[in-house]
Chain A
Amino acid sequence: MSDTLVLLDHATDGSLRAPVRELVTIARDLPGAVRGVWVADGAEPSPATIAELGVLGVTHVHRLVADGDLHVAAALAAGLATLLAETGAHLVLAVSTFENKEAAGHLAVASGAAVVTDVDSVVWSDERLVAGKTVFAGTWTTSTAVRTPLAVITVKPNSVPVTDAPEPVTPQVGDHAVALDAGVGRVRLVERTEQPASDRPDLTSAHVVVVGGRGTEGDFSSVEELADVLGGAVGATRVATDEGWIGHEAQIGQTGVTISPRLYIGAGVSGAVHHRGGMQASGTIVAVNSDPDAPIFEIADFGVVGDLRTVLPQAAAELRRLKG
């Protein structure tokens, strides 16, 4: 089997998005080499990033360079199609984000690749790629085989523990110019505004997420306090984002962000099915809710029937005490 292309999602400062390391870890266990794809969007990989990719086992870093904006999904797909052809790679692995899934749709049409989204594992079994994913709001697990020579697979953050390659390598960095046809240029990116980075970890890849719902009545201070003690990210239900208590990007659920942290703590969250769809695959689920009949208790490993305004600060204080 031939090589795997891993899309190296990165921040504006050139640092790798955390889940990329998981993609490389997964790709290393597949036959063939692991090649990174760096979209040259102004941010460049630092020597430290290249070295880190080497430690992870990435043999090549292909910089995609285009005279159009590679943030447009069709343009990114055109770039990936070119690279698939040039490198003979058979698989593109990307982090499951809406942007990458969008590019996957374009790439599938352009290249004949199969698409599997939101997976948590990819293995090579009986001479084909098999991906695992949980579906129906985390209530079913499935495995899906790829039937075509090419595939694009998107992987959910927090799917596998990151490991280094047995032997570090020195990645070869090279440029690939992408010719964008007129069709791609029909989408005009008029404006792109990146939000400033927060001090808290990124929601999708955080190991701990503390989520506030309507029960906070708009006061997120105890949610933030607990998140900070745990070094976690802060999320919200749609009610909380619709009320404007916190930004829309914090919404967890079927129409927001899908998360699967090691630890999810929901406070004043009822556990509506739309919300569960975005968090039910979490490792451990903790819920604090004043209503003993709240549906979230059906899926909580540890549930507290109580008032979040007293339970959360007490838990935060105790954790601080235990940490010393």
Chain B
Amino acid sequence: MRWKVAAVRRTEPFAPASVADGNVPGVRIVVCVKHVPDIQSDRSLGATCRTVRDGGDGTLNELDENALEAALSLVEAAGEGEVVVLTVGPDDAVDAVRKGLQMGADEAVHVVDDAIAGSDAIGTARVLAAAIRHLGGADLVVTGMAGLDGLTSVVPSALAALLDVPALPLAAELVLDGSTVRVTRHLDRVTEVLEADLPALVSVTDQANEPRYPNFKGIMAARKKPVTTLALADLGLDADQVGEAGARTEVLEAAPRPVREDRVLVHDTGDAGVRLAAYLVENQLV
């Protein structure tokens, strides 16, 4: 069953940050979460080269728990504000936003539509952008650093570009100071501090925090919280802009990699180091 979003709180997309104008209590944060195959399970690509997502092994992308934790603690620290958890995905994906509600998010939104299947990273970002606009915008959009299946890490910057807000990806530390958001990020050989005024988008790494576990109270409270389901038509998106039809890439082939053959296992009886060295020399690895 699908129904329309009940009430749109703010009509102005990305109205000046509420923190600054004080009209609405606190920040409104939208957290994007992805439902992914459990990485401990045997993941596979099906006949259409799409990720098999119906094995019942789906879960909230672990890295998005860090995004939720970041949003929840910002609101807790401010003493006011609201956290909306948003996912785009098939029916099962609702479990991801439910988990977000259990952790403490106030509201959940699930965009589901058969036409979305087969979206590439940019298609996904388009749907997320349209959904956030539809919800009346946000002061801050928080995402994880990567989806543990697709692992492109492209959605955050593409989403920020589509929403026309500054992007501050890969926050290992995140500070909200009035209406300014500041992140510290550790890249290969470089540490950067980036800053922007709200509204903005941040992605957080797994270094940013230690995500909470939903407690009994949270799980009970989540049952009463609203989950809004939206389809493409609700977002004013055409089917050919997203999904396989709108995708800029097309997966032609997918095959499991052959398992490594000729594997050797030696138990050390005193000369394993020498044997290791010999193996490296024999295989021209030195």
- Which residues of chain A have a CB within 8 Å of any CB of chain B? 71-74, 77, 97-99, 101-106, 108-110, 112-118, 130, 134-148, 151, 183, 186-195, 197, 203-204, 208, 230, 248-249, 254-255, 257, 262-263, 273-274, 277, 284-286, 288, 292, 297, 299-307, 310-319, 322-323
With both beta carbons as reference points, the residue of chain B lying nearest to A145 in the complex is identified as B250
B168 to chain A, nearest CB (A): 7
Which of A73, A188, A257 is in CB contact (< 8 Å) with B167?
Answer: A73
Complex contact A186–B45 (CB within 8 A): no
User: From DSSP, what is the main secondary structure of chain B's interface residues?
Assistant: mixed
Complex contact B253–A137 (CB within 8 A): no
A159 to chain B, nearest CB (A): 15
Residue among A145, A230, A318 facing the most chain B CB atoms (10 A cut-off): A318
Complex contact B280–A319 (CB within 8 A): yes
Residues of B within 8 A of A147 (CB): 247-250
Complex contact B272–A314 (CB within 8 A): yes
Complex contact B273–A137 (CB within 8 A): no
Q: Which of B18-26, B133-141, B255-263 lies at the interface? A: B255-263
Complex contact B156–A105 (CB within 8 A): yes
B41 to chain A, nearest CB (A): 10
Which of A99, A105, A188, A274 is in CB contact (< 8 Å) with B154?
Answer: A105
Complex contact A101–B154 (CB within 8 A): yes
A10-B251 Cα distance, complex, nearest whole Å: 32
Complex contact B263–A300 (CB within 8 A): yes
Residues of B within 8 A of A323 (CB): 286
Residues of A within 8 A of B170 (CB): 98, 102
Those of B146-172 within 8 Å (CB) of chain A: 146, 148-149, 151-162, 164-170
**What is the count of residue pairs linking A and B with beta-carbon distances less than 8 angstroms?**
280
- Which 3 A-B pairs give the minimum distances between C-beta atoms? A314-B273, A306-B268, A105-B157
Q: Which of B73-81, B91-99, B187-195, B213-221 lies at the interface? A: B187-195
B7 contacts chain A at the CB level, 8 A cutoff = no
Residues of A within 8 A of B279 (CB): 286, 302
Complex contact A148–B248 (CB within 8 A): yes
26 intermolecular pairs with C-beta atoms under 8 Å apart = A105-B154, A105-B156, A115-B248, A134-B257, A139-B256, A140-B43, A140-B256, A142-B45, A142-B253, A143-B253, A186-B197, A187-B194, A191-B191, A192-B192, A195-B190, A203-B188, A249-B189, A255-B207, A262-B285, A300-B265, A304-B266, A305-B268, A306-B272, A311-B272, A315-B280, A319-B286
Complex contact A143–B252 (CB within 8 A): yes
- The contact string, 1 if C-beta is below 8 Å from chain A, for chain B 228-270, is 0000000000000000000111111111110010111111100
Complex contact A310–B268 (CB within 8 A): yes
Residues of B within 8 A of A249 (CB): 186, 188-189
Complex contact B167–A118 (CB within 8 A): no
A311-B167 Cα distance, complex, nearest whole Å: 47
Which of A115, A142, A192, A305 is in CB contact (< 8 Å) with B266?
Answer: A305
A311-B252 Cα distance, complex, nearest whole Å: 45
Complex contact B187–A311 (CB within 8 A): no
With both beta carbons as reference points, the residue of chain A lying nearest to B49 in the complex is identified as A142
Complex contact A113–B248 (CB within 8 A): yes
A273 to chain B, nearest CB (A): 5
| A-B contact sample (14 more), CB < 8 A, given A143-B252, A273-B40 | A97-B187, A109-B122, A130-B252, A137-B39, A140-B256, A142-B49, A142-B254, A187-B196, A193-B191, A263-B280, A284-B283, A292-B267, A318-B276, A318-B277
Residues of B within 8 A of A306 (CB): 267-268, 272
B88 contacts chain A at the CB level, 8 A cutoff = no
B1 contacts chain A at the CB level, 8 A cutoff = no
Complex contact B277–A319 (CB within 8 A): yes
A191-B277 Cα distance, complex, nearest whole Å: 45
Which of B39, B160, B192, B260 is in CB contact (< 8 Å) with A191?
Answer: B192
Complex contact B196–A145 (CB within 8 A): no
Residues of A within 8 A of B272 (CB): 288, 304, 306, 311, 314
With both beta carbons as reference points, the residue of chain A lying nearest to B126 in the complex is identified as A109
Complex contact B206–A284 (CB within 8 A): no
Complex contact B189–A194 (CB within 8 A): yes
Complex contact A311–B39 (CB within 8 A): no
A67-B170 Cα distance, complex, nearest whole Å: 25
Complex contact B121–A105 (CB within 8 A): yes
